[in-house]
Chain A
Amino acid sequence: MANDEYDFLFKVVLIGDSGVGKSNLLSRFTRNEFNLDSKSTIGVEFATRSIQVDSKTIKAQIWDTAGQERYRAITSAYYRGAVGALLVYDISKHQTYENVTRWLKELRDHADSNIVIMLVGNKSDLRHLRAVPTEEAKQFASENNLSFIETSALDASNVELAFQNILTEIYRIVSSKALDNGDASQANLGAGTNITLSNAVEEGSSKGSKCC
């Protein structure tokens, strides 16, 4: 992948409870595949896909993590250098929604404080089994300064949009920050450059993403 050109490379992690459909979101986005009987992810899987924003090529390096990983040491490795996170829950399982707060806390603990987080209510195709009202989730998202979207990896609705949105948002922040810094070079995740996300609530960039 070194050979294809890109302007920005963003690392985005997919987190959320086990079984909410993270892997299928990823496969839907990167390969347009859906696997009904997929097994739970072991460790972590990677995939990349490039999209165009403002005539810039943005390459997303997406880490699909195992929802049941218990070791902080490992989860924190997942978050290292991530500029975006899709926090996924299952709209038909209320418990997964309740756990969102715990995931948020973990993000705050381990990830870059400026990380862009999007709350994703997956499995929107299961309307008849809905356990989490859209409004409630939307409310929660705005309270916590998260973007929010409901998707379905099965029927592919909003999947593209979700990634598009988060990547665009990251791009906006990064490019404005780059401009601020007068740094014309690419925003690099691993290059040790401090990336300050301007619209983040927290002031200033506290941690630089170190070379992983």
Chain B
Amino acid sequence: MATFKRAPVAGAGSNRSSILSSLKATQMIESKPILPAEIISTILDYLPIPDLISFARTSKRMLEMVYEDSRWVQRLNVMGVWNEREARKRFEGAMRRKREMMKMKHEEEAKKLGIGVNGGAGSGAANAGARKTSTTIFDAGVEEERQRRSVEVVNKPPTIRTSVDGFETLTLTPIAKPPIQRAPMLDPEALLNIFSGVKSIRGSARQEYGKIYAALAPFYFDLARSRSHVDPVIFRVYLDPEQQAQMLAHLTIFARSDWAQGWRMREERLVTMIGVFENAVLREFEQGCEAWDVDGKMRRYAHVLGVLNGGHAGIELFVQKHPLFNDRLGNSMDCINQAATDGIALDPSQQFLEKLAGKIKEQSDVIDRVFPKGEDVLQSLLDKVAEDILMEYVTPLFDEAHDRNITSYLKAVAGLFEQSMRFGLSLKASNNSGEDFPAKVEAMVARVFEPHVDLYLQEELDHFKRLAEHEVDDWEKKLSEQEATKESFFMGNFNRVADKKDFLSSFKKVVMMPVNVLPTAMSLPFGAPAPKPTIAPVANRMSLQVPSPLPSPLPSRPQTPGLGSSLPTEAPTDELAAKAALMASKLEGIRSLFSIEVALDLTHAAKASIERAALFVRLGGQTGEEAREQCEAIFVVLLSILGSRHVRTGFDKAVDHLGKYNPREVSEHQQGVAPLVTFLELVNVGDLISQMIDVFYEQQLAATKLADRNDFLDPAVKAKKKFEQMLDERVAAGLNKGIDVLMDEVEYVCGTLQKPTDFNPLPCAPGKPMDFDIGPTAAAKQIVAIVESHTKMLNGSTDKNTLDVFNQEVGLRLFTALCKHLKRQRVSTDGAIALISDMNIYFVYIRTLRNSDLLEYFKALRELSQIYLIEAKHAKELAEVIADGARFGGVFRAEEVYEFAERRADWYTVKRDVERAMYGIGCVAM
């Protein structure tokens, strides 16, 4: 547009001299009184069919325009009877033939005309157009004729004709086509199926539409004109309500293709007519309903309604007036009233839902009998059931439970949800229910619970947090009461690895037990006679458990072993609890630090909470996601309480004990350094707890897809990592201290147990048998025993790298301690045998650590100890050995070996020779 405007301005600018020149240049365009083809085409759309046909008769061009296929396809499309795919298939077949024909035609024409392509093309098109008209089946004349005929059949004066009449003479094709051919079309019975005969053919959409028009237009226009509901022809032609409904449905469809002037009025009329008809049918249906005449009136009129417009009105009526909603199936307060104090009984709700399921099953049959295919009546009924019955039942129960007791509230929500879900699953789909019936039912149940989920999840988390904190506090309180009594620890030297494995396997068994929040009766199909709950509330404590025996959530403490035994499902829990108690008794020593039982109780509580909350994950969508997050949150809380509140303090205390240890103050030395043993036991238990958490995570969160194992940003994974890291850090910190303590002990043993005669036996009197004792000395044996018992304790209980570092450090420190110790001894050639034996048992021990670097040090010690074996007369060679650095694998330098050599008992006798030899070797000048 912009360029358009600018052009004349530019022109004006260049020819400023003569203003008029531009005016002269402009041409007056005469507007012809002809509308452009596009507008005509658009107008045509709004013409009533008869006018349209009449219009076609005015000229060939108009005919072409009217007959244009897309115009008719559009109408068919609007009615939903045009199948584009089918049309395309047909069209493609036809195209090939057509192309051949076109080619032939062109050749023919070219031959005929023999001149300019331009003129040839034009006349060719005209020719084609002419031919087309002659080949059409549905053309104006025939259409009109058909209309007339059909109107006549229904004994109605053909009012439409008048408008067409005037043009009748102008028909290009003879109207004299025998109308008898159309006769089958006019059979009222056949008309009922008019739409099923429609074919989608490109190029003949007009004919197809014509057929439909011929069949339905008379009824339609008649209806539009009629004043009252008795008037229309349609009710006279068809007497069966089914047929009437069918026809009315057809007309509704047909009305969509009517957009000529006055369509709104006509459609309104049609709608009111249908409304009147529908009301009448509904009344009949309602009467049927009241009489509960399932196979008679109800069925018949439900089908009529279905044919008419899908039968929504009937379904609504059925659902609204359904007797189901008048029954009182149960009172939700029973759940609270029947349970003992503060408890909640889910049996009444169970019975209630069973009853409801039974009723709905009955109704499902009824619905199948009454309603035609197509409409999911059961679904509508269920929606109402959910809203009016389930919601009414559940909401007050939850509110009441929430007010009374949080624990029972949590159980009620989770339990009822589970029950409802099962209730939903127990429902049988009716014939009309789609594939997604279960999903729909689930969504329905979800809707009922949705308003409660948020509060529930929050409460669940809070409840768990409170419970966990209470547990830990309780334990700490108990501990501080005991604290004063004694601090006796000593481990029973039990088989740690086997015990741990045993404990973990039963832990796994418990964790893996199927989620069973409901009484076992629930798992039976609803129809089956539910076995009477065998367990009746007996004791106060039991009542909490019995109504919904959450098998593991309530860990029966080892102190009360008889409790769970009445419930067979609790057996593994008991087993576990017993093992925990056993474990705890073996770990007497760390009782004051932290308790594996507390850890177990906490995980049990977490398991219960997570299992309950996890039920809601099934809801999917946002609620499901929230439930999932809440599960993770519970896990995180578990870890943070267990980790920072319980385990960490225990470790800190143990490390503190370690720091205070002084071997010289301990009166009685046993096979272990007490605080170190305690600490190492702690590491074991810490590892056990960590493994427990790991199993728990795998089973409860990862296996159930509550948490993604691979998502490192997942809060549960992060919390778990943090927990493990915390544990590792504490272990590392403790080990550092532990090594110090261990070495203190080693040095203490060296100082106290090693006799001066060990390596320097008194020269035996001649002739007197010498006590030729070969083998390690008592001190060496003790040292190895101490170190070994401590390093062994760590095996498998901490991460391998930590262990390696620990072992390496222990080895190195032991080596240093031994060197230091050796330098305090005096060794004779006789004593060398004992020394070598000592070194050999250190070496054997170090070999068990499988650390090759460390082994080098002890190899060097073995080699070193041989210098004491050399007799004084070989002093020269002794010097050589001392100087032989390769012999000691680089561990000792010559100066160091020399220092050791000074510890020979006969050093002062050989010193001169050795020194001479040594410096002699080093200095050529000498």
Interface residues of A (CB under 8 A from B): 1-2, 9, 42-46, 48, 61, 71-74, 76-78, 80, 185-186, 188-193, 211-212
Contacts and interface: CB of A to CB of B under 8 A. Distances in A.
10 contacts: A42-B859, A42-B862, A43-B862, A44-B869, A61-B774, A72-B874, A188-B770, A189-B772, A190-B772, A191-B769
Given A77-B869, A191-B768, 12 more contacts: A61-B774, A71-B877, A73-B870, A73-B880, A74-B866, A77-B870, A185-B767, A191-B766, A192-B766, A193-B767, A211-B763, A212-B829
Which 6 A-B residue pairs are closest in the complex by CB-CB distance?
A73-B874, A73-B877, A77-B869, A73-B870, A42-B862, A46-B774
A106 to B, nearest CB: 15
Contact of A43 (B866, B877, B880): B866
A2 B771 contact: yes
B431 interface: no
Nearest to B870: A73
B386 interface: no
B837 interface: yes
Nearest to B864: A43
Interface in B839-862: 839-840, 843, 859, 862
B917 to A, nearest CB: 11
Given A42-B859, A46-B837, A48-B774, A77 B829 contact: yes
A84 B369 CA distance: 110
B522 to A, nearest CB: 62
Interface in B759-788: 763-764, 766-775
B836 A43 contact: yes
B881 interface: yes
Contacts of A192: 766-767
A42 B863 contact: yes
B865 interface: yes
A123 B104 CA distance: 105
Given A74-B881, A77-B829, A44 B874 contact: no
B763 A186 contact: no
A169 to B, nearest CB: 21
B878 interface: yes
A186 B871 contact: no
Contacts of A74: 866, 869-870, 877, 881
A46 B775 contact: yes
B833 interface: yes
Nearest to A61: B774
B880 A71 contact: yes
Contacts of B840: 45-46
Contacts of A77: 829, 832, 866, 869-871
Contacts of B766: 191-192
Nearest to A80: B871
Contacts of B830: 211-212
Contact of B770 (A42, A71, A78, A191): A191
Given A46-B837, A211-B764, A73 B865 contact: no
B871 A73 contact: yes
Nearest to A81: B772
A190 B837 contact: no
A77 B869 CA distance: 6
A131 to B, nearest CB: 31
Contact of B863 (A43, A45, A191): A43
Contacts of B837: 46
Contact of B773 (A1, A188, A191): A1
Contact of A186 (B769, B833, B859, B869): B769
Nearest to B876: A73
Contacts of B768: 191
Contacts of A211: 763-764, 770, 830
Nearest to A44: B836
Q: Which of B764, B770, B830, B881 has the most CB of A within 10 A?
A: B770
Contacts of B843: 42
A46 B877 CA distance: 23
Contacts of A73: 870-871, 874, 877-878, 880-881
A72 B770 contact: no
Interface string B734-777: 00000000000000000000000000000110111111111100
Contacts of A61: 772, 774
A76 B830 CA distance: 14
Contacts of A191: 764, 766-770
B829 A44 contact: no
A155 B444 CA distance: 79
Nearest to B844: A45
Contacts of B832: 77
A47 to B, nearest CB: 8
A72 B874 CA distance: 8
A61 B869 CA distance: 16
